[in-house]
């Protein structure tokens, strides 16, 4: 009769021990996984360094925001715009924001220069009308040609090389070009989708406007002529890169691919068990073909930043500890500067030799 309570007690102790061991093993496994995924540089630590631009939560943007040669780095804190040199981070100019711009500034707001004036383009993010404002909040014009839906994308860019910004949009059934006053210049048939990349005219190539459609990538030139439509099953267009042998679309997904307008894949790169979510051409030396800076993500592997050259040399490889967005600015020396947006803003740059 005494065996029964002893057996029950033994079973309870065994269960408690099993749960305790399992919990212990789980805790150890979590610590091991945290250690494995800790931020660290795997390749390139001797060549590159990361420096803090700002620890404040600002909206960073890059572009030709003044009349000087090269791009600027802009930091927007919803009350003002700071224009910095992308090389030294020295503030060149501070411009106050006023009126409606302060209240409406969002992740879909973009700075651009119209003539000699810096303006704010509220792209709407596919959810609202497009509005173009002066920095003091004065509205110049707005754009919503369809009552059914606002533009799904809206991009300011100087693609024809005349020194003046034009605007490119996708709306219901069309891709559209507008001039600086918001007047439509042309429409090109397009089922649905959004612009994901642009590239200006060069002596070799026409301008490219790249849009992601339903299962395909469509490319037009700045005159509205369709250059290509390429089926994209498991990839999406992320950017455009110019190499000596041609201009290509950088496509992400299970692998990074450089795709020609006839669908040929001329370059591919895989980050094991991760998805390439962002890719930028990155000029590391003036006169040298650009490398590719890519950001990959994975449920089990967090975030990964890699820089890969045209000959598939892994120049830089870092496991990141937080979600990151990449942006770049081309300085007056023709070399790109790479920035990492997190809670603040970091710059990845070559170490001084």
- Decide if 291 is inside a domain: yes
Q: Considering 169, 198, 231, which residue would you say is the last residue of a domain?
A: 231
72, 53, 145, 77: which is closest to 112 by C-alpha? 72
Least confident of 17-21, 121-125, 200-204, 231-235: 17-21
162-196 pLDDT, tens digit per residue, is: 999 999 999 999 999 999 999 999 999 998 999 99
**Within this chain, do residues 138 and 177 fall inside the same structural domain, yes or no?**
yes
The answer to whether 259 and 265 have CB atoms below 8 angstroms apart is yes
Domains contained in the chain, number: 2
The answer to whether 336 and 284 have CB atoms below 8 angstroms apart is yes
**Within this chain, do residues 226 and 295 fall inside the same structural domain, yes or no?**
no
**Within this chain, do residues 118 and 197 fall inside the same structural domain, yes or no?**
yes
**Within this chain, do residues 244 and 300 fall inside the same structural domain, yes or no?**
yes
- Decide if 20 is inside a domain: no
In this prediction, residue 233 has a pLDDT band, given cuts at 50, 70 and 90, of: confident
CA distance 4 to 180: 89
- Decide if 72 is inside a domain: no
In this prediction, residue 345 has a pLDDT band, given cuts at 50, 70 and 90, of: very high
Q: Residue 74 has what pLDDT? A: 97
Mean pLDDT over each residue of the chain, to the nearest integer: 90
Q: Considering 215, 231, 247, which residue would you say is the last residue of a domain?
A: 231
Helical (H) or strand (E) element with 46? none
Q: What mean pLDDT is predicted for residues 323-347?
A: 95
9-29 pLDDT, tens digit per residue, is: 455 455 544 545 555 656 655
Could you tell me the maximum CA-CA distance found in the chain, to the nearest angstrom?
A: 99
**Within this chain, do residues 133 and 169 fall inside the same structural domain, yes or no?**
yes
**Within this chain, do residues 109 and 195 fall inside the same structural domain, yes or no?**
yes
Domain of 189: which CATH number? Answer: 2.130.10.10
Q: Residue 78 has what pLDDT? A: 81
Can you read off the two tokens belonging to residue 59? 């909206």
The answer to whether 108 and 123 have CB atoms below 8 angstroms apart is yes
- Decide if 286 is inside a domain: yes
Q: Which residues contact 33 (CB under 8 A, 6 or more apart)?
A: none
Q: Considering 231, 262, 284, which residue would you say is the last residue of a domain?
A: 231
Q: Residue 200 has what pLDDT? A: 97
Domain that holds residue 300: 39-60+236-353
251-271 pLDDT, tens digit per residue, is: 999 999 999 999 999 999 999
CA distances from 305 to 44, 54, 102, 236, 294 (A): 11, 20, 33, 18, 6
In this prediction, residue 32 has a pLDDT band, given cuts at 50, 70 and 90, of: very low
61-103 pLDDT, tens digit per residue, is: 999 998 888 999 999 998 999 999 999 999 999 999 998 888 8
**Within this chain, do residues 152 and 187 fall inside the same structural domain, yes or no?**
yes
- Decide if 256 is inside a domain: yes
Between 247 and 232, where is the model more confident? 247
Q: Residue 28 has what pLDDT? A: 57
**Within this chain, do residues 50 and 138 fall inside the same structural domain, yes or no?**
no
Per-residue pLDDT at 198 exceeds 90: yes
**Within this chain, do residues 151 and 266 fall inside the same structural domain, yes or no?**
no
Per-residue pLDDT at 299 exceeds 70: yes
Q: Residue 14 has what pLDDT? A: 59
Question: Whole-model pTM above 0.75?
Answer: yes
Per-residue pLDDT at 300 exceeds 90: no
- Decide if 188 is inside a domain: yes
Q: Residue 20 has what pLDDT? A: 55
**Within this chain, do residues 207 and 323 fall inside the same structural domain, yes or no?**
no
Q: Residue 52 has what pLDDT? A: 97
Q: Residue 49 has what pLDDT? A: 96
In this prediction, residue 1 has a pLDDT band, given cuts at 50, 70 and 90, of: very low
- Decide if 17 is inside a domain: no
Q: What letters, b where the CB count within 10 A reaches 16 and e where it falls short, cover 146-179?
A: eeeebbbbbbbbbbbeeeebbbbbbbeebbbbbe
- Decide if 214 is inside a domain: yes
**Within this chain, do residues 141 and 222 fall inside the same structural domain, yes or no?**
yes
**Within this chain, do residues 173 and 212 fall inside the same structural domain, yes or no?**
yes
Per-residue pLDDT at 213 exceeds 70: yes
């Amino acid at each position: 009769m005494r065996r029964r309570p002893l057996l029950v007690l033994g079973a309870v102790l065994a269960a408690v021990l099993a749960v305790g061991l399992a919990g212990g093993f789980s805790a150890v496994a979590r610590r091991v996984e945290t250690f494995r995924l800790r931020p660290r540089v795997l390749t390139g630590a001797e060549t590159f360094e990361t420096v803090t631009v700002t620890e404040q939560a600002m909206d960073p943007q890059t572009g030709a925001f003044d009349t000087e040669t090269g791009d600027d780095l802009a930091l927007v804190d919803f009350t003002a715009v700071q224009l910095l040199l992308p090389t030294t981070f020295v503030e060149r100019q501070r411009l106050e924001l006023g009126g409606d711009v302060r209240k409406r500034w969002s992740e879909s707001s973009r700075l651009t220069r119209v003539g000699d004036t810096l303006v704010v383009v509220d792209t709407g993010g596919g959810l609202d009308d497009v509005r173009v404002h002066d920095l003091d909040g004065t509205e110049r014009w707005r754009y919503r040609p369809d009552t059914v839906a606002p533009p799904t994308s809206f991009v300011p860019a100087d693609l024809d090389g005349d020194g003046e910004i034009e605007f490119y949009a996708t709306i219901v059934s069309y891709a559209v070009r507008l001039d600086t006053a918001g007047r439509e210049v042309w429409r090109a048939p397009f089922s649905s989708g959004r612009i994901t990349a642009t590239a200006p005219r060069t002596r070799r190539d026409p301008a490219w406007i790249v849009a992601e459609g339903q299962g395909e990538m469509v490319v037009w030139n700045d005159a509205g002529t369709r250059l290509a439509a390429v089926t994209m099953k498991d990839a999406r267009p992320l950017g455009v890169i110019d190499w000596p042998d041609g201009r290509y679309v950088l496509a992400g997904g299970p692998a990074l691919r450089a795709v020609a307008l006839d669908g040929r894949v001329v370059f591919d790169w895989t980050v094991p068990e991760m998805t390439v979510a962002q890719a930028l051409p990155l000029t590391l030396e003036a006169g040298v073909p650009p490398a590719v800076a890519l950001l990959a993500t994975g449920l089990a592997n967090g975030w990964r930043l890699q820089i890969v050259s045209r000959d598939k040399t892994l120049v830089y490889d870092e496991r990141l500890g937080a979600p990151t967005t990449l942006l770049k600015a081309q300085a007056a020396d023709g070399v790109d500067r790479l920035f990492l947006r997190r809670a603040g803003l970091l710059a990845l740059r070559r170490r001084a030799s």
